[in-house]
Chain A
Amino acid sequence: MADASCPVPFSTYERVVLAHGGGGRVMHRLIDELFLAAFGADPLRAQHDGAVIEVSGLLAVTTDAFTVRPLVFPGGDIGSLAVHGTVNDLVCCGATPTQMTVSFILEEGLALERLRAIVGSMAAAAREVGLTIVAGDTKVVERGKGDGVFISATGLGRVITPGPLSPSRVRPGDAVLVTGPVGDHGVAVMLEREGLSVDTVGDFVSDAASCLPQLRALLDAGVDLRCLRDPTRGGLATVLNEIARAAEVGVHLDDAAVPVRAEVRDACELLGLDPLYVACEGRLVVFVPEPDAPAALAALRATPGSEGAARVGAVTREHAGLVMAASSFGTTRVLDLLSGEQLPRIC
Chain B
Amino acid sequence: MRWVDEFRDPAAARRLADGIATAMTRPWTVMEICGGQTHTIARYGIEDLLPEGLTLLHGPGCPVCVTPLEIIEAARALALRKGVVVCSFGDMLRVPGARGDLLDARSRGGDVRVVLSPLDAVQLAARDPSQHYVLFGVGFETTAPATAMAAELARRLDLDNFSLLTSHVRVPPAMAQLLSDPEGHIDGFLAAGHVCAVEGLADYPAIAARFGAPIVITGFEPVDILDGLLRCVLQLEAGRHEVENQYARAVRADGNPAARATVDAVFEVVDAPWRGLGVVKEGGLAMRSSWARFDARRRFDLTVAPADEPTTCRSGLVLTGRLLPTQCPEFGRGCDPDRPLGAPMVSTEGACAAYYQFRRSAIEERA
Could you tell me which A residues sit within 8 Å of B by CB distance? 194, 196, 262, 265-266, 269, 271, 319, 322, 324, 327-334, 336, 339-340, 343-347
Question: Can you list, as one digit per residue, whether each of B33-57 has a CB less than 8 Å from chain A (1) or not (0)?
Answer: 0001000001111101100000000
Measured CA separation A330–B114 after assembly (Å):
37
Measured CA separation A328–B337 after assembly (Å):
27
Measured CA separation A69–B49 after assembly (Å):
43
Contacts A327-B45, A333-B358, A339-B337; A344 near B89 (Cβ below 8 A) = yes
B288 within 8 A of A: no
Query: How many A-B residue contacts, CB cutoff 8 Å?
Result: 91
- B223-261 contacts to A (CB < 8 Å): none
Cross-chain contact B92 with A346 (CB below 8 angstroms): yes
Measured CA separation A271–B115 after assembly (Å):
12
Measured CA separation A292–B222 after assembly (Å):
36
Cross-chain contact A339 with B116 (CB below 8 angstroms): no
> B138-146, B150-158, B171-179: which one contacts chain A?
B138-146
Measured CA separation A285–B288 after assembly (Å):
55
Cross-chain contact B10 with A346 (CB below 8 angstroms): no
Measured CA separation A329–B10 after assembly (Å):
5
B4 within 8 A of A: yes
Contacts A324-B361, A334-B357; A346 near B222 (Cβ below 8 A) = no
Which of chain A's residues has its CB closest to B36's CB? A347
Cross-chain contact A334 with B116 (CB below 8 angstroms): no
B13 within 8 A of A: yes
Q: Which of A269, A319, A343 contacts B361 (CB 8 A)?
A: A319
**B361 surroundings in chain A (CB, below 8 A):** 319, 322, 324, 332, 334
What are 29 A-B pairs at a CB distance below 8 A? Answer: A194-B116, A262-B1, A269-B1, A269-B4, A322-B360, A322-B361, A329-B10, A329-B14, A329-B45, A331-B48, A333-B44, A333-B45, A334-B358, A334-B360, A336-B358, A336-B360, A339-B337, A340-B94, A343-B90, A343-B93, A344-B89, A344-B90, A344-B114, A344-B116, A345-B89, A345-B349, A346-B91, A346-B349, A347-B142
Q: What is the CB-to-nearest-CB distance from B49 to chain A, in angstroms, rounded to a whole number?
A: 7
Cross-chain contact A329 with B143 (CB below 8 angstroms): no
Apart from A334-B360, A346-B349, what 11 extra A-B contacts exist at CB < 8 Å? A262-B1, A328-B8, A333-B42, A333-B357, A334-B361, A336-B360, A344-B89, A344-B91, A346-B138, A347-B36, A347-B139
Measured CA separation A344–B359 after assembly (Å):
22
Q: Which of A196, A322, A329, A332 contacts B13 (CB 8 A)?
A: A329
Which of chain A's residues has its CB closest to B146's CB? A347
**A324 surroundings in chain B (CB, below 8 A):** 361
Which of chain B's residues has its CB closest to A327's CB? B44
B181 within 8 A of A: no
Q: What is the CB-to-nearest-CB distance from B19 to chain A, in angstroms, rounded to a whole number?
A: 15
**B64 surroundings in chain A (CB, below 8 A):** 346
**B360 surroundings in chain A (CB, below 8 A):** 322, 334, 336
Contacts A265-B1, A343-B90, A347-B139; A336 near B10 (Cβ below 8 A) = no
Cross-chain contact A343 with B49 (CB below 8 angstroms): no
